[in-house]
Amino acid sequence: MNDKHCDIRIQVATRYIDDQSDPDINRYVFAYTITISNSGDVAARLISRHWIITDANGKVQEVNGDGVVGEQPHLNPGEVFRYTSGAVLETPLGAMQGLYRMEADNGIGFDAPIEPFTLVVPGLLN
């Protein structure tokens, strides 16, 4: 029995980018910083991403692609990979969720879910 396991943890921090946004034309720009940690015993590579982005009007954008920010990071046990990307919404409030498709060095593929998180203009919600 192989007791080694994969344990990928994902943390998200978001911020509103005021100087790239223009509420007059319904353009709200957000940055999000993702921290991916390998807390397991097996190294794994991030193969692809799938995002579901929903604005306050219910408009859904789905984004699929290889890797993240042009990379397919390989994380050994204990390693962390951090990157920042962005999303443009037509409303000052929205949400994102998704998953990373991972492949462990032992050849096993698995999904690392990204729990829903909110994109919101500061001061909008109290």
pLDDT for the residue numbered 5? 74
Which amino acid belongs to residue 78? G
- pTM over cut 0.95: no
Helix (H/G/I), strand (E/B), else coil: 76? coil
- At residue 29's C-alpha, the angle toward residues 28 and 35, to 5°, is 140
Residue 126 pLDDT exceeds 70? no
Domain coordinates in residue numbering, the chain: 8-119
pLDDT for the residue numbered 4? 66
pLDDT for the residue numbered 47? 98
* Span 35-94, pLDDT tens digits: 999 999 999 999 999 999 999 999 999 999 999 999 999 999 999 999 999 999 999 999
Average pLDDT score over residue span 95-124: 96
Nearest in space to 97 (alpha carbons), one of 46, 63, 59: 63
Residue 1 pLDDT exceeds 60? no
Residue 6 pLDDT exceeds 90? no
Cα 68 to chain centroid distance, Å, stands at 9
CATH of range 8-119; options 2.60.40.10, 3.10.450.350, 2.60.40.1470, 1.10.1060.10: 2.60.40.1470
Number of other CB atoms surrounding residue 71 within 10 Å: 12
d(CA 62, CA 71): 19
* Span 16-34, pLDDT tens digits: 999 999 999 999 999 999 9
